[in-house]
Amino acid sequence: MIRLGEIDFINALPFKLSQEEAEFAEAQVVRASPKQLNQWLCEGRLDVSAISSACYLAHRHELTLIDGLSISAQRPVKSVLLFLPTDRQAITTPTTKHPATLFIPDTSETSVLLARYILEQPEHQWPIPYQLQVYQRGLARMTLTQATETGAAVLAIGDEALMLDGWQHPGYKVIDLAQAWHETKASPFVFGVWAVRNDWLAQDPKGNRARLNRLCGLLRHKKYHFQSDKVYQQALVDSLLARYHVDDLPDTEQQQQQQQQARLHHYLTHALTYNLDLPHRMGLDEFDQTITCLDKHVTTVPD
């Protein structure tokens, strides 16, 4: 049996296993946020998992990267957004009472590092050092409202960021971090990868390798099916959006929900890529080099 971690964000929908598929792959599936899956895989509570690329880079000697699978982008993705105040004076002269702050979600590691890299670019004039303030999943919109009162920056990721698409405030600009990366680097940005623990493979080299090959074959097939079959794409998106009950809504709300459906469909089928080929591996290497250069004088305040 494989203890398998699945990301419970919309972006991992093409890889979500049905009960029958999990039984075929001999997988016991656990769904959680990327940060939680990172922790469980590193602790040995999972054998194989989707994890953030930052986790893989930090623990690469204990893990084997699974080829051909990722959650990546090389264009605006709208699920990793940095809300940045535009008042230069307020940003560059923070007070002791209100130090420069970046609010970060408690669900991701890679996106936080990417946000820090973009934030620390000279053109943003962000004061260094600064502090990171953690907020809980589900509170992105409320955190953003509070941040506008003090001139703090906010990182929103995943499903919450998608729901904030179109948010506007006269004192803020919104930076799509995938697009910002693409403007400075030629390679795709790899948010997530799949990895297996080396010690799990070593426990039963023949048996566990066979189980892993069966699982990887299934995941690659699901990826290919999603990328190549438009009917299947639409069916998956429809299943995701069934909870909206569009037909039961007033006309105005129906129109808004239909627009949201179109955005989510574009997000899954055009904004994201799911390969892990040479350009993606180059992107991983560039990200690895980037995070070693981040400012070390950053404090984190828990939620």
pLDDT tens-digit readout, 151-170: 889 999 988 888 887 788 88
What is the pTM assigned to this prediction?
0.87
Query: Residue 120: its pLDDT value, please?
Result: 86
Distance (Å, rounded) from C-alpha 12 to C-alpha 50? 9
Whether 5 maps to a domain, the answer reads no
| Average pLDDT for the chain | 87
Whether 30 maps to a domain, the answer reads no
In sequence order, the 6+-apart residues with CB closer than 8 A to the CB of 38 are 51, 52, 55, 109
Query: Residue 97: its pLDDT value, please?
Result: 59
Q: Answer yes or no: do 93 and 178 share one domain.
A: yes
DSSP characters over 156-213: EEHHHHHHTTT---TTEEEEEHHHHHHHH-SSPEEEEEEEEEHHHHHHSHHHHHHHHH
Whether 161 maps to a domain, the answer reads yes
Report the 10 Å Cβ neighbour count for 97.
Answer: 6
> Can the peptide bond before residue 129 be classed as cis, meaning omega within 30 degrees of 0?
yes
In sequence order, the 6+-apart residues with CB closer than 8 A to the CB of 134 are 103, 104, 105, 106, 300, 301, 302, 303
Query: Residue 112: its pLDDT value, please?
Result: 93
Query: Residue 265: its pLDDT value, please?
Result: 82
Q: Tell me what the mean pLDDT of segment 187-196 comes to.
A: 96
- Domain holding 263, by residue range, is 229-272
Q: Answer yes or no: do 95 and 145 share one domain.
A: yes
Tokens of 39: 């922790």
Q: Answer yes or no: do 135 and 176 share one domain.
A: yes
Q: Answer yes or no: do 169 and 240 share one domain.
A: no
Query: Residue 250: its pLDDT value, please?
Result: 43
Contact 140, 154 (CB under 8 A): yes
Q: Answer yes or no: do 151 and 88 share one domain.
A: yes
Q: Answer yes or no: do 238 and 129 share one domain.
A: no
CATH, residue 99: 3.40.190
Whether 150 maps to a domain, the answer reads yes
Distance (Å, rounded) from C-alpha 159 to C-alpha 167? 14
Query: Residue 225: its pLDDT value, please?
Result: 93
Q: Answer yes or no: do 182 and 238 share one domain.
A: no
Q: Answer yes or no: do 137 and 258 share one domain.
A: no
Q: Answer yes or no: do 171 and 294 share one domain.
A: yes
Q: Answer yes or no: do 170 and 256 share one domain.
A: no
Q: Which helix (H) or strand (E) is 227 found in, with range? A: helix 205-228
Is the pLDDT assigned to residue 257 strictly greater than 70?
no
Whether 9 maps to a domain, the answer reads no
Tokens of 113: 């590092």
Most confident of 111-125, 187-201, 219-233, 281-295: 187-201
Q: Tell me what the mean pLDDT of segment 1-9 comes to.
A: 95
Q: Answer yes or no: do 110 and 252 share one domain.
A: no
Whether 125 maps to a domain, the answer reads yes
Indicate the number of domains in the chain. 2
Whether 261 maps to a domain, the answer reads yes
Q: Tell me what the mean pLDDT of segment 283-295 comes to.
A: 89
In sequence order, the 6+-apart residues with CB closer than 8 A to the CB of 27 are 1, 2, 3, 4, 17, 48, 215
Whether 193 maps to a domain, the answer reads no
Closest C-alpha to 154, from 171, 188, 267, 9: 171
Bridging pattern class, strands 101-105 and 63-73: unpaired
Q: Answer yes or no: do 89 and 177 share one domain.
A: yes
